[in-house]
Amino acid sequence: MKSKLFSFGLLTASVLFICTGQANAAEYTFTDLGTLGGHYSHADAINNAGQVAGAATSAGDTWYATVWNGNTPTAVGGTHSEGRAINDAGQVAGFSGSQATVWNGATVTTLGGAGSFAYAINEAGQVAGISGSHATVWNGTTATDLGTLGGTNSKATAINNTGQVAGYSSTTNNYSSHAVIWNGTTATDLGSPLGGTDSYAYAINDVGQVAGMATLTGNTIGHAVVWNGTIATDLGSPGGSSYAFAINNIGQVAGYAEFGNRTPHAILWSNNTAIDLNSYLDSSIVGAGWLLLGATGINDNGWIVGVMRNSVSGYTHGFLLSVSAVPEPETHTMMFAGLGLIGFMLQRRKGIQAI
């Protein structure tokens, strides 16, 4: 299986990166999601009603799990909590301290003990995450250990509405980590299709398409990947690493790719075409110092959330790009040519972290 996937990865590694200009900037409305009075926030997920889940700091920069309705943030968790996923009913999954937690309005449900974290929730309220060192699914407060691919650790990062779970696991002797799909407790190893040893799955949609990344030969960098079954498509990069963090039910993928100055840019892949989301920003926003670093969530309407950084203050905020028209690459495009760069990984989870 590995050699077959690798061959396919080589065939698809030349996917074009296209940067759109300002001609279709009106297709998105940009919103700075702001904070709870502190300096920082990040947005991790968005549901089809446009509600956004993430975390934000209050005065003194203490983090709270946060839900945004429009640009209005509301703390739903206590101190040192994060919201990592939100379903269409508005249930938020995440963690408080080091315990997996679900917030449903004013009702708070603790799912696991210390060392448990929730990363995804589907419309039935099933939650995927990790407890101890193993991928776990909770139905209510009943936990199911999904096991590993023979190694010590595994993590569930996504769950769709059919109950399929995506994530990754260490392999026998902890030699590598591979992306995994679990159907119940049956694991399918997605291998590492781009020649490296590792792959990671971060999102799964309702038709079972999985988004994540896989390392290249030599393990120096990785590229964003989409799996259809066990067949992988390399989404490419302008030269450094790229990651896919979210996929919606029409197959649009959100994540980031690194540019020649080692800076990540938020990216939308649509029909395997990569669009730098910064190209949709008004010049006044760019002039104020904001750069969209990474896209971490996308809903079925194409609305995108993520994290941005201000080059003047150094602060990070969550952002929302809401769609006023279906985005299409404009006629005039340019290749990301000559953008040599070195692999660079984001350093702080509070900005962007590969979960």
Could you list the pLDDT tens digit for every one of the 355 residues in the chain?
A: 333 332 323 333 334 454 444 334 338 999 999 999 999 999 999 999 999 999 999 999 999 999 999 999 999 999 999 999 999 999 999 999 999 999 999 999 999 999 999 999 999 999 999 999 999 999 999 999 999 999 999 999 999 999 999 999 999 999 999 999 999 999 999 999 999 999 999 999 999 999 999 999 987 799 999 999 999 999 999 878 999 999 999 999 999 999 877 889 999 999 989 999 999 999 999 999 999 999 999 999 999 999 999 999 999 999 999 987 554 443 333 333 333 332 333 333 334 444 4
Q: Residue 242's pLDDT is what? A: 97
Whole-model pTM: value is 0.86
Q: Residue 149's pLDDT is what? A: 98
- Longest distance between any two alpha carbons in the chain, whole Å: 54
Residues 176, 101, 125, 249: what is their CA dihedral angle, to the nearest 10 degrees? -50
**Which amino acid, 303?**
W
What span, in angstroms and rounded, lies between the C-alpha atoms of 345 and 352? 9
